[in-house]
Amino acid sequence: MAKFSRKGKGGVPELSTSSLADIVFMILLFFMLTTSMRQGEKKVTLKMPGASEIAKLERKDLAAYIYVGTPIPSEQGKYGTDARIQLNDSFRSVDDIRDFIAAERETLSEADRQFMTVSIKADENVRMGIVTDIKQELRRTSALKIMYAARKAGAGEL
């Protein structure tokens, strides 16, 4: 009978890293496909007004944004220098807010529609008449949860 001898210590074999690149690629691809990018671009210049008391928006996915300000310099030749309302990617009038809110509600699930918040991001130099008109139209569409965007004011600013 032959004897079997072990030529080395019986340790644990090394971990194969040949499939590591495939795993990293799959994770990268997953995050690229599931991440939502910003849908629109701002076409108005905004300098947020300062505020002493600020609260963060809990769920940004339930917010609809209305931008109010003067058009950026590249758009001023077409739209002028008066304050304009931007809904999604285009300038609109106050009358278009009703359709905008209806479209935003349709994108939400039935359970989340009651929690939808409208965030008004207005430049600090915009006339309050425009903001009041927006608020009146939001009231007509039953969008009663309104949030005004502001920046935290420094100690001596207010």
Q: Using one digit for the tens of pLDDT, what is the confidence trace for 41-98?
A: 788 988 988 888 888 888 888 999 999 999 999 888 898 989 999 998 889 999 999 9
> Please, what are the domains in the chain?
44-152 (3.30.420.270)
Q: Distance (Å, rounded) from C-alpha 109 to C-alpha 54?
A: 28
- The pair of structure tokens assigned to 46 is 């905004």
Residues 6+ apart with CB under 8 A from 105: 113, 116
Helix (H, G, I), strand (E, B) or coil at 153: coil
In 3-state terms the chain splits into helix, strand, coil percentages (rounded to 5) of: 35, 20, 45
